[in-house]
Amino acid sequence: MKVDLMRKVDFYIGVPLCFFFSILFRIISLLKACRDKFIFLRKGNIQPKNILFIELSEMGSAILVDPAMKKLQRSLIGSELFFLIFKRNKPSLNLLNTIKEENIFTISEDSFLSLTFDTLRFLMWARVRNIDTVIDLELFSRFTALLTILSGAGNCVGFYGYHNEGLYRGDFLTHRVSYNPHIHIAKNFISLINALLSNKLEVPYSKTLITDEEIRLDKVTIEDKQKIEMINKIEKLCPMFSRDKNRIVLINPNASEMLIQRRWNLKNFSLLIQYILNDYPDVVVLITGSAGEREEAEKLRLSVKNNRCYNFAGESKFHELPALYSVAHCMVTNDSGPGHFSAVLDMPTFVLYGPETPKLYGSLGNSKAIYAALACSPCVSAANHRKTSCTDNVCLKIISPEYVYGVIKPCLNSKGILDLRQLRDMGIERG
């Protein structure tokens, strides 16, 4: 389904359904003589054991929520964590492997029929696994709100609009958390955990201090064998590259179709690559992306006109990205998934921001934000469901290739600690 269609369905169908089920569950609550007068004021009193996280639409958020999930694991020893996500976004969960493979349920959004079918399967799956707690990570999505209440969980934790207009999604959360648009989204995710762990009723949740230390990501370790396999692949596909003399710079010119305004112009990327290759003869540039983005990457490669620039889009599987990042010197990327995926390693990453702000959605890794901070930026937020009417992303156009080159040049001047010559065959044949 197209993004705009999903937004319309979420609003025109989701709002009435949220209202209907709010009334229904309030009546059920009264009939059961709940100790609180209204269901939206009650506090879930079920000891969390089987806890489901819902984050459907953002691959990057599956990384940003990891500190929150780790905190919950430390706080509730013996609890089991589950995750619900769109099928195409599932690979991002496997980077840190916090959730067991068998505890991940995926929904296909390819069509309305597949979405409906998988939703019904999920409702059965949740009950079979006795899900008692749901933590809805989405920012005011009606669809995930409905999934939360229909899962049968006794504890329902999520963001609530309170006095914000236009963010209605029902009144059945047991733990209403006030979304804070002035702190990083990873800290907002921690606030959901704090609300669940609170031993008292709060209006609103969560009246806690969340430090930067709490949102630090765990790092992954890449074995030498994986690095060597990646180097072998690069040497095979890129004749001008040699581990004995070259450094790898990654360029990711792509961004999700959900917000194409996040894309820096390809001409700018082309000039940036030319600056890098002209000044650093030991650098090889790999243009990354998915197989579906290969054609656009090829246009960029051809515009550079340098045989040390290669189209690497579609050449590495998602699970191979950590190995690719582990052998690269640095990466320049639009504000998209790779900026977050690389955060599980120490590779320097430079991320271009425009319609969104790094203050709220910045990478948690070794990352530097490049952001013009215009008067109109950021133009997408939870309040507008991350949809903008802007068709002229001046916020990115104003960022020149010369400026970006100046930002990354100190990194290029530094040889760093990565020495690809140390990666010898160790019994694995090249190419």
Q: Give per-residue pLDDT as tens, 181-211.
A: 999 999 999 999 999 999 888 899 999 999 9
- The residue ranges of DSSP E strands in 216-344, in sequence order, are 247-252, 283-287, 309-311, 330-334
In angstroms, the CA 334 to CA 347 distance is: 16
List the chain domain ranges. Answer: 3-215, 224-422
CB of 370 closer than 8 Å to CB of 350: yes
- For tokens 């052998």, what's the residue? 327
Q: Which pLDDT score, from 0 to 100, does residue 9 have?
A: 67
CA dihedral of 250, 94, 340, 247, whole degrees rounded to 10: -20
Distance CA 339, CA 352 (A): 9
Task: Record the tokens describing residue 277, joined without a space.
Answer: 């290759």
pLDDT at 155: 93
CA–CA distance, 167 with 160 (Å, rounded to integer)? 8
Q: So what's the pLDDT on residue 31?
A: 59
Q: Beta partners for 251?
A: 287, 332
pLDDT value of residue 43: 44
Three-class DSSP category at 124: helix
3-state secondary structure (DSSP) of residue 133: strand
pLDDT at 105: 96
Three-point CA angle 210, 351, 91, nearest 5°: 75
29: how many CB neighbours lie within 10 A of its CB?
Answer: 18
Q: Is 370 helix (H, G, I), strand (E, B) or coil?
A: strand
Q: Which residues pair with 159 in a beta bridge?
A: 177
Q: State the architecture of 224-422 in CATH terms.
A: 3-Layer(aba) Sandwich (3.40)
Query: Is cis: bond before 239, omega within 30 of 0?
Result: no
Write out the CATH class of domain 3-215: alpha beta
Residue 77 vs residues 57, 102, 135, 195, 420: alpha-carbon distances, Å: 29, 19, 17, 17, 41
- Nearest-angstrom CA–CA distance, 177 and 265: 38
For residue 54 the two structure tokens come to 């819902």
Nearest-angstrom CA–CA distance, 255 and 269 = 13
Low-confidence ranges of the chain (pLDDT < 50): 33-43, 426-431
Q: Which pLDDT value is given to residue 374?
A: 92
Task: Please state whether the peptide bond connecting residue 206 to the residue before it is cis, i.e. omega within 30 degrees of 0.
Answer: yes
- In the 8-state DSSP scheme, what is residue 205? B
- Our separate counts of H helices and E strands in the chain read 15, 12
With a CB cutoff of 8 Å and minimum separation 6, the contacts of 277 are 283, 285, 304, 306, 308, 309
Contact call for residues 10 and 56 (beta carbons, < 8 A): no
Domains 3-215 and 224-422 alike in fold: yes
Note whether 365 and 325 are within 8 A (CB). Answer: no
**Measured between alpha carbons, how far is 170 from 380 in angstroms, rounded to an integer?**
23
What pLDDT is recorded for position 42? Answer: 43
Tokens of 414: 């530094």
Contact criterion met (CB below 8 Å) for 170 and 413:
no
Count the residues in the chain: 431
Name the phi and psi angles at 287, rounded to 5.
-90, 115
- pLDDT computed for residue 16 by the predictor: 80
Whole-number Å distance between alpha carbons of 347 and 341 = 11
